[in-house]
Copies of this chain bind each other. A is one copy, B any other.
Amino acid sequence: MPRSTGSTPRKFHVHFESNSSKPRQFQVLESDVKAAVRRHPELARRLKITVGFDRKMLTEALRTADFLLNSDPPRDNLRALAPRLEWIQTTGAGIDGLLPLDWLPEGVVLTNNSGAHAAKAQDSGAMGLLMLNARIPEVMTAQRAKHWAHAFSSPIAGKTAVVIGFGDVGAAVGRGARKLGVNVIAVTRSGALTRATAKAADSVVPVSKLARVIGKADFVVVATPLTAQTRGLVDGAMLDRMKDGAGLMNIGRAPVVDYDALCARLESGKLSGAILDVFSPEPLPDSSPLWTVPNLVVLPHITCDDPRYIDFLLDFWFENFARRLAGRKLKNIVEPLRGY
């Protein structure tokens, strides 16, 4: 980290803004910030930090803020509100709620929190694959009916998972799957072999060839961000190309998969089970028919979350701030045209 010489360097103003209606795990509290400052005392000396909730002091904070951390930044006329703003960090990994990014002023960089989810995603991917292999969705449906339903399955090693989307979450799923002896086919935008795909997948194909490989899957895991390109990617026709009796897990975004088409294929027995962790809207309303679809496990958006999430987020932010001070490129910059 560069040290100042001569006069005291100026302090940067960062504002951490949260929505108090979100779960505790997604709110940055004063106590979280104090703990992070204790972990990063040198960096904190270069900062003026303000913490706000529910936009009560947001307008005032933006007048002088260099940096903003927030899931839902104000999009109308942001440059006028925040003349010095140069960097917005989002709380989550997915920024589909902010698309299109035409509101982002020139000279403002947007970073997301991709990567914080990896350890949990690896656990959840392995869990989901093992549950699909053991036909747990069917067993849970039988438990609801108080019915003993033998559902035998062979060990998972040697079976095949197609993982759609191979960012931090998808690659973590790939690593967890390979530890189980599962053959992993990664589906990415380009199909290029990268460090992530080389380590966590047995092969990689571009999304344009998804229809050709999806039939190899015993399990399909959807771990892609929601963009114009991925919306509706796994529709009824794509599901029909899956192997009879295969299973599906969605830990990406709900609109990537046609849930009506999926439910029809669970009802018909074409697919043996599904585990869904993402819905639109969330929380899933009590009135949703999804709660009782046979062989469907409903998870309340938990597969990638961690109680230490805000600590990870703030540590990530401070490390990125150190890069900013050193004049290096920030990590996790969202590319506006790509949309993630």
Q: Which residues of A contact B (CB under 8 A)?
A: 23, 25, 119-120, 122-124, 126-127, 130-131, 133-136, 139-140, 142-144, 146-157, 179-180, 282-284, 286, 288, 291-292, 297-303, 305-308
Which of these, B180, B282, B300, contacts A151 with CB under 8 Å? B300
CA distance A25 to B147 in the complex (A): 19
CA distance A154 to B134 in the complex (A): 24
User: Which residues does chain B contribute within 8 Å of A124, judged by CB atoms?
Assistant: 130, 134
User: Which residues does chain B contribute within 8 Å of A123, judged by CB atoms?
Assistant: 130, 133-134, 155-156, 180
Cβ-defined contact, A148 with B300, below 8 A: yes
Cβ-defined contact, B126 with A302, below 8 A: no
Cβ-defined contact, B119 with A157, below 8 A: yes
Cβ-defined contact, A146 with B292, below 8 A: yes
Which of these, B122, B140, B154, B306, contacts A307 with CB under 8 Å? B154
Q: In the complex, which of the residues A179, A301, A302 has the most CB atoms of chain B within 10 Å of its own CB atom?
A: A302
User: Which residues does chain B contribute within 8 Å of A157, judged by CB atoms?
Assistant: 119
Cβ-defined contact, B25 with A300, below 8 A: no
Cβ-defined contact, A155 with B23, below 8 A: no
Cβ-defined contact, B148 with A283, below 8 A: yes
Q: A319: shortest Cβ distance to chain B, in Å? A: 20
Q: A113: shortest Cβ distance to chain B, in Å? A: 16
Cβ-defined contact, B154 with A302, below 8 A: no
Which of these, B130, B284, B305, contacts A130 with CB under 8 Å? B130
User: Which residues does chain B contribute within 8 Å of A147, judged by CB atoms?
Assistant: 286
* Top 5 A-B pairs, shortest CB-CB distance: A148-B283, A127-B130, A119-B155, A146-B291, A148-B300
Cβ-defined contact, A302 with B139, below 8 A: yes
CA distance A23 to B148 in the complex (A): 12
User: Which residues does chain B contribute within 8 Å of A136, judged by CB atoms?
Assistant: 127, 299
User: Which residues does chain B contribute within 8 Å of A143, judged by CB atoms?
Assistant: 140, 291, 297-298
CA distance A291 to B286 in the complex (A): 22
Cβ-defined contact, B127 with A300, below 8 A: no
CB within 8 Å for A152 and B291 given contacts A127-B130, A139-B300 = no
User: Which residues does chain B contribute within 8 Å of A299, judged by CB atoms?
Assistant: 136, 139
Identify the closest chain B residue to A308 (Cβ).
Answer: B154
Q: A297: shortest Cβ distance to chain B, in Å? A: 7
Q: A148-B283, A151-B300, A152-B307 are in contact. List 13 more A-B contacts (CB 8 A).
A: A120-B155, A123-B155, A124-B130, A134-B302, A134-B303, A136-B299, A139-B298, A139-B302, A143-B291, A143-B298, A148-B286, A148-B300, A150-B300
